[in-house]
Structure 1
Amino acid sequence: MTQGSRRRWTGLVFISVAVALIIVDSTIVNVAIPAIVDDLGITSSQVQWVQEAYTLVFASLLLVFGSLADRVGRRRMLLIGVVIFVLASVGAALATTGDMLIAARLVQGVGGAMMLPTTLSLLNATFRGRERAIAFAVWGSTIGGMAAVGPLLGGWLTTEFSWHWAFLINVPLGIAIVIGVLLTVDESRGDAVSIDVVGAILSVVTVGALVFGLIEGRTYGWLLTDKPLELGGWTWPWDLSPVAVAFLVAAIGVVLFILWGGRRRRAGKPTLIAFGLFRIPSFRNGNIAAMVVALGEFGLILALPLWLQFVLGFEAVQTGLILLALAIGSFAASGLAGALSGRVAPVWIVRTGIAAEIIGVAAVGFVISPDASWVPLIPALFVYGFGVGLATAQLTGVVLADVPTTEGGQASGTQSTSRQLGAALSIAILGTILFSTTSAVLTATLDDRGVPAEQRDQVVSAVVDSAGGAIAGLERSPQTAQFADDAKAAFSQGTKYASFAAAGFLAVGLLATLSLGGGRGRGAGRDEDDAKVETGAAEAPENA
């Protein structure tokens, strides 16, 4: 192995650690959330926002920084992102209120959005041929594996130290990434173009309004105002719910984003999304599949730690150990995916992986009950993780298979945005299913017991607003101990429904992959010379 080759592969290690930092932080908080609920007293809506604040900004800005990195330098953008991410992590660790923690998570999302698309485009620019396929496999398996290692690490840190260390762990990792990338990764750039600022603003507003509506619908009302929105001294004055207005804003935002992008493209100006790339079938259909699959992959990781700790009574580290089955399955799958590379069409590996995810997630749903054992959860989570490991890396390769290197930043930013948008919607939708079902089931159960309406509402609000954290308090108090079992059953039912909904999204994602070609392809992000014919065809007028 030459010195240059060794340097490339060493650089891959540090780039993978950067990816691990992003993914771990998006999952490590889930196991720490129960401790944060107890310490800061955050509500169930804030529980969702602690996760969503990160994911929302992350998804909204990926396109912006994917394009900007091509202009200012991908390595430079990665390093700036790491610094912002680490500083925000310190802010999160020092937070004393839920609002402070959410604000720090918003800033973390900015740093993460700078990092993720640049890691992918750096690999795209650094490696060629089979080496590139291997690098993408490592990148993808890191995402799959770290999504499960995060809860284990978070559980250990929370149990042995405190939830603050779930964020402080990012500091030494960030320092290592900065030093390693400076020593082993060369700078790379794409074509220097202007940034579509209006498109960036429209994308942030659209995604933000959509996620706000999905999370806050149960709080403020889906159509008419159930509870007035208050911001400082201002109160929402209309009968029409702010959630309905948010959905309207999101719908208008989508239309304006497309119209604005089309106008700039016709004028020969750069757009936030390279709309011409969507004429490449593998890129267009792969992005659709990636978003739908992500809808089923991520939200369940929000619900399970809450159920395991607040209903079954596990400690954070025990929860992390149970979820480790996900990581083991993912790592096992990544090895198999590597062995199958070049022998089996990537799209068939993707389909097999999604099918395994459906089986695993549905099995989790059937296992969930107030008195469930952890034993049957292990094989179900292993199968789920095995599917994630198979599908993640190969789906990325399918999406970028026919994209030339010169447009790698925009392309990788778009496919990452598709997945992160799916993840954001997943957390919002499955979290809403979890808490809405818990509220409805517990309300009905207490009504059947003849509990007075005022006391019923107090119990339901305590359980739902605390994301299940109040169940232990119900058990300890003689006046409310009788309601603890009802609360556990309701929370279990909510978690079960969230699991089945996740399996349903994955099933839709599997159907979406049927629109992808079944050929073997030639690897992700081909060089421009390798793709001139296809790209030229893709950029031809639609009526040609």
Structure 2
Amino acid sequence: MDYRSRRWAGLIFISIAVSLIIVDSTIVNVAIPSIVDDLGLTSTEVQWVQEAYTLVFASLLLVFGSLADRFGRRRMLLIGVVIFALSSIAAAFAPTGGLLILARLVQGVGGAMVLPATLSLINATFRGRERGIAFAVWGSTIGGMAALGPLLGGWLTTDFSWRWAFGINVPLGIVIIVGVLFTVAESRAEKVGSIDVVGAFLAVIASASLVFALIEGRTYGWWQTATPPSIGDWTWPWQISPIPFAFAIAVLGVVGFIAWGRHRQRTGRSTLIAFSLFRIPSFRNGNIAAMVVSLGEFGIILSLPLWLQFVIGFDALQTGFVLLALAIGSFVASGAAGASSGRISPVAVVRVGLVAEIIGVAGIGFVVAPDTAWGWLIPFLFIYGFGVGLATAQLTGVVLADVPVVESGQGSGTQSTARQIGSALGVAILGTVLFASTAGILGAKLDDRGLDAAQRDQVVSAVVDSAGGAIAGLEQSPATADLATDAKAAFSDGTRLAAFTAAGFLTLGFLATLSLGSGRPRKVEEAEEPEEAAAAG
């Protein structure tokens, strides 16, 4: 089979595969309030529905990026799509929050197989200016599918059930599998070593401990134990919280991972990360920038659907229409980035995109209030989405531009891991900012009303533990209507602070891009041929 002539068609299916991950995230964001109502999720469980996926995803990207180079990038992509689709069925039928979180964990395994495989397949298939165009198409497809996500999720959740927000992944998965089999050639690295099992274990432990600590810190206590965790009949027995231990494990995991990897490298054995890649300036500096940018890029999407539905009173479909402005901006920008390929430096495009993101997310922070008209959000969401569309694909291209094809799986896995760890930390930090600030502000407002401590704590816990879902119940009773007003104001303030925190992270990300060079366009050679590691049928 002549896959070479079908590589552009194959690119579409590769892009749809990674879009499956993006669509799932945007659909779930819109559906979360309905899931809260149906399954009675706490605010911590809300974060874990998001983070269970991201945590496993980020933890396993390096592992599956390396395995894809060994066992076949197309094979890894197909296996990942199958796992993702099957776990989506489990999520759709989940009867409890715990089982939904478990299904999301398995989805993370599938997603971690898909993402590095798509990037390394593009890196192995295209060269020169074609590669720049391919990454732009990849980003444009993501933007287009993301534009459908909030609207599709809102429609499915409002007219059917939030369960269909997961079920939609099954037909998409079938389309991807059939398309990839007919249009994408298999490729793999010629020289492979033994699998770094110890490095994989240390990477998983480090990232899992860090995200656990950030999400559960406000529940268990950041230093002293507030609510002791328990497993079965065993309860945490010490005054000091488990959170400092989790942070310490994360630090030791990172140090151990680096030390072990360097040891294997010195002895000539393969490593989970090709540490030699960090001698490439674009790869090293680009990964730093990607991680910092991801801290602020998508965290606001956790709080905004909750605010729109529980404070403003929108249903899921209306929320989807509002968030569509963000996705349309991303789609428009991705197309513009593709059209400018070769004429404007990718680094310059990234910087322009980050400035747009900062303006958009800070603008959201300025306009959020209990009585905000939804129309004020639209221009800022569009600007924010426009910035995401400009920055995302181009930053990926910058990071992987000088990575050798034989190490493209490790390279793409590393840059994907940097992004996903940044994203996981961003959602965890911004979720903590949202709920902790809401609790503090609401508690102060209720104190001003003269509520006794027990009543105050009961109302604050109800609002925060339900991620805002209890506000409607407070509003329905004349006796607690004033408390609902305070809760709406506090949740709006928490959303505003989360937006400003995201803008701060994005500003740091912009400063990090200054290490990527002058931003002048670079000439590329188009004579180099794509890797021919596939068996043409």
Classify the TM-score, shorter chain: over 0.9
CA shift for structure 1 position 139: 1.3
> Which residue is 2:381 aligned to?
381
> Which residue is 1:44 aligned to?
43
- Counterpart of 1:375 in 2: which secondary structure? helix
CA contact (8 A) 1:400 1:524 kept: no
TM-score for the superposition, normalised by structure 1? 0.95
CA contact (8 A) 1:401 1:523 kept: no
What is the identity, as a one-letter code, of the residue corresponding to 1:24? V
The CA deviation string for residues 110-163 of structure 1, in whole angstroms up to 9 with x for no partner, is 000000100111111122222221111111233344445322221111011100
- Counterpart of 1:341 in 2: which secondary structure? coil
Matches within 5 A, 1:20-31: 20-31=19-30
Pair 1:86-2:85 in alignment: yes
CA contact (8 A) 2:128 2:528 kept: no
> Which residue is 1:520 aligned to?
521
- Counterpart of 2:312 in 1: which secondary structure? coil
- Counterpart of 1:32 in 2: which secondary structure? helix
Q: Runs of 4 or more off by more than 4 Å in structure 1?
A: 2-6, 522-530
CA contact (8 A) 2:143 2:328 kept: no
- Counterpart of 2:303 in 1: which secondary structure? helix
Closer, same or farther: CA 369–454 of 1 in aligned 2, 3 Å: same
> Which residue is 1:538 aligned to?
none
Closer, same or farther: CA 5–74 of 1 in aligned 2, 3 Å: closer
Matches within 5 A, 1:133-532: 133-190=132-189, 191-517=191-517, 518-521=519-522
The CA deviation string for residues 330-353 of structure 1, in whole angstroms up to 9 with x for no partner, is 111122212221111111111000
Tell me which moved more, 121-130 or 85-94.
121-130
Pair 1:9-2:12 in alignment: no
Closer, same or farther: CA 265–312 of 1 in aligned 2, 3 Å: same
What is the identity, as a one-letter code, of the residue corresponding to 1:459? V
- Counterpart of 2:479 in 1: which secondary structure? coil
Output the CA distance in 1 between the equivalents of 2:193 and 2:89: 34
CA shift for structure 1 position 25: 1.1
What is the identity, as a one-letter code, of the residue corresponding to 1:410? Q
The CA deviation string for residues 136-195 of structure 1, in whole angstroms up to 9 with x for no partner, is 111123334444532222111101110000000001111111111111111100133221
Closer, same or farther: CA 373–529 of 1 in aligned 2, 3 Å: closer
Tell me the percent identity. 72
Output the CA distance in 2 between the equivalents of 1:220 and 1:229: 7
What is the identity, as a one-letter code, of the residue corresponding to 2:289? A
CA contact (8 A) 2:3 2:185 kept: no
Matches within 5 A, 1:117-136: 117-136=116-135
> Which residue is 2:106 aligned to?
107
CA shift for structure 1 position 525: 12
Cα RMSD after superposing both structures: 1.8
The runs of 5 or more residues in structure 2 that have no matched partner are 532-537
> Which residue is 1:537 aligned to?
none
Closer, same or farther: CA 266–82 of 1 in aligned 2, 3 Å: same
CA contact (8 A) 2:57 2:111 kept: yes
The runs of 5 or more residues in structure 1 that have no matched partner are 531-544
Output the CA distance in 1 between the equivalents of 2:527 and 2:246: 40
CA contact (8 A) 1:405 1:526 kept: no
Closer, same or farther: CA 282–438 of 1 in aligned 2, 3 Å: same
What is the identity, as a one-letter code, of the residue corresponding to 1:119? T
CA shift for structure 1 position 522: 5.1
Tell me which moved more, 373-382 or 150-159.
150-159
CA contact (8 A) 1:396 1:415 kept: yes
- Counterpart of 2:256 in 1: which secondary structure? helix
What is the identity, as a one-letter code, of the residue corresponding to 2:398? V
CA contact (8 A) 1:19 1:142 kept: no
Closer, same or farther: CA 27–524 of 1 in aligned 2, 3 Å: farther
Output the CA distance in 2 between the equivalents of 1:527 and 1:305: 47
CA contact (8 A) 1:401 1:524 kept: no
TM-score for the superposition, normalised by structure 2? 0.96
CA contact (8 A) 1:62 1:114 kept: yes
What is the identity, as a one-letter code, of the residue corresponding to 2:448? D
CA contact (8 A) 2:206 2:254 kept: yes
Output the CA distance in 1 between the equivalents of 2:141 and 2:295: 19
CA contact (8 A) 1:306 1:467 kept: yes
Closer, same or farther: CA 283–522 of 1 in aligned 2, 3 Å: farther
- Counterpart of 1:192 in 2: which secondary structure? coil
CA contact (8 A) 2:12 2:138 kept: no
Output the CA distance in 2 between the equivalents of 1:478 and 1:63: 55
Output the CA distance in 1 between the equivalents of 2:112 and 2:41: 26
Closer, same or farther: CA 383–138 of 1 in aligned 2, 3 Å: same
- Counterpart of 2:314 in 1: which secondary structure? coil
What is the identity, as a one-letter code, of the residue corresponding to 1:193? G
The CA deviation string for residues 243-298 of structure 1, in whole angstroms up to 9 with x for no partner, is 11101111111111111111111111111111110011100000000011011111
> Which residue is 1:536 aligned to?
none
> Which residue is 1:57 aligned to?
56
Output the CA distance in 1 between the equivalents of 2:344 and 2:21: 30
